[in-house]
Amino acid sequence: MTSDLLIRNVRPMGGPATDVLVRSGRIAAMSAGGAEPSIPVLDGAGELLLPGLIEAHTHLDKTMWGMPWKPHAAGPRLIDKIETERRQRRELDIEPERQSGRQALQSLRMGSTHIRTHIDVDTEVGLSGIEGVMRMRERYRDRIHVEIVAFPQSGLLVRPGTLELMREAMRLGAEVVGGLDPNAIDRDPKGHLDAIFGLAQEFGRPVDIHLHEPAELGGFAMELIIERTRALGMQGRVVVSHAFCLGMSDRDYARSLIDQLARERIAVMTTGAPSRPVPPVRECAEAGLVVCAGSDGIRDSWSPYGNADMLERAMLIGLRNNFREDEEIALALNACTRGGATVMALADYGLEVGCAADLLIVPGEVPAEAVVSRPAKRTVVKGGRIVVRDGEVTTAA
């Protein structure tokens, strides 16, 4: 469902004020003045106009958003978190359809119009997460766009039956094949990546691989990903999420990895994690790498933090990368907008005439000010319809 709308007096990316005419959910014209009394009018009050924010990496199926506070219980290792999560999923009522809906609406409230979410597929939950999130996204399809990555959180080869479930998830409608730490979890980097890329080939789908593995170990996994991307002609269809190894101390090796990623058009996703080495966003961008951004888990058994605000995410990425100038902060915001759109292959994303009218209107002189101040007052337009007004989801939506 799309709409007509005239947005008066907004400043695209902080530029001069203009009106935006939306016809059938798309930007039809941008110019000041001219009455259009026959369609709804939204007064932008001279505020910033940004394209809708893109949450390019989260886990909608397992958030405890809106549930009673649950103290963090997992130990420090990755495997502790995976096992605690499986246990909590049995003990607590973390119902994927309800919980994913809560987080999706919170994302929308904060200005995100698109979400790429990883959804657990394993021999315990089977496809229930995928099915629940698919029902949720159908319900909210007029408000927010959700793309699903089938994600073998508990391991692919170490849990026989998972690969077949992953195949089933792709048949059901997951759009992206997920993977995870091929050395650390499956203990078989070649086997894991061959299986992941095999599925991607089988279904003609892109891949998005969690790679927490640090330093030279992560570098090795990344080399294997690069080799497969090149061999299979999957340029522009592969994301390495987290990619902590790009923050390793051997800067020459990291640089050579960045150059190879750029050559194969492999994107990286960063959260700007303050306690881990992270991909250097400026260096990645200068090398031509697509950088997207995500909240990762929000209020779940992995982490108690997070509020689904991608303006705040841009701030955290800015702080982590020591970005202070407007142009630097714009780089961080770009990861939370156009970087994510590129990764999700959204052909009609942006503020140009012809683009889908998926928009965020927020107070601020320039984008950098919106990032550092993260105003509560936000208006979100999806396909030309006002879906959030002053930070609240509209009842009409």
Contact stretch for its own copies (CB under 8 A) within 20-28, 186-194, 257-265, 321-329? 321-329
Using CB under 8 A, which of 191, 372, 393, 394 touches its own copies? 372
Comparison of 101 and 272: residue with beta carbon closer to its own copies: 272
232-291 positions binding its own copies, by CB under 8 A? 272-275
Binding of its own copies at residue 326 (CB under 8 A)?
yes
Size of the site for its own copies (CB under 8 A): 35
Binding of its own copies at residue 368 (CB under 8 A)?
yes
Are the C-beta atoms of 44 and 369 separated by less than 8 Å?
no
Contact stretch for its own copies (CB under 8 A) within 33-41, 69-77, 94-102, 240-248? 69-77
As a whole number of angstroms, the distance between CA 121 and CA 49 comes to 38
Comparison of 148 and 315: residue with beta carbon closer to its own copies: 315
281-320 positions binding its own copies, by CB under 8 A? 299, 303-307, 315-316, 318-320
Comparison of 320 and 382: residue with beta carbon closer to its own copies: 320
Q: Mapping DSSP to helix (H, G, I), strand (E, B) and coil, where does residue 381 land?
A: strand
Comparison of 193 and 362: residue with beta carbon closer to its own copies: 362
3-state secondary structure labels for all residues of 307-375? CCCHHHHHHHHHHHCCCCCHHHHHHHHHHCCHHHHHHCCCCCCCCCCCCECCEEEECCCCHHHHHHHCC
Provide, rounded to whole angstroms, the least separation between the CB of residue 346 and its own copies.
29
User: x-or-dash pattern for its own copies, window 24-63, by CB under 8 A?
Assistant: ----------------------------------------
Binding of its own copies at residue 88 (CB under 8 A)?
no
Comparison of 121 and 314: residue with beta carbon closer to its own copies: 314
Burial class (CB in 10 A: 0-12, 13-18, 19+), 161: exposed
Residue with structure tokens 């503020």? 351
DSSP states of 281-302 as a string?
HHHHHHTT--EEE--BS-SSSS
Element holding 239 (H helix, E strand): strand 238-241
Tokens at residue 135, please? 């029902």
Binding of its own copies at residue 83 (CB under 8 A)?
no
- Of 104, 8, 27, nearest in space to 65 by CA: 104
Comparison of 37 and 76: residue with beta carbon closer to its own copies: 76
- Of 133, 254, 273, nearest in space to 212 by CA: 273
Binding of its own copies at residue 105 (CB under 8 A)?
no
As a whole number of angstroms, the distance between CA 162 and CA 322 comes to 41
- Of 320, 341, 332, 322, nearest in space to 370 by CA: 332
Binding of its own copies at residue 16 (CB under 8 A)?
no
Interface positions with its own copies (CB under 8 A): 68-69, 71-74, 272-275, 299, 303-307, 315-316, 318-322, 324-326, 329, 364-366, 368-369, 372-373, 376
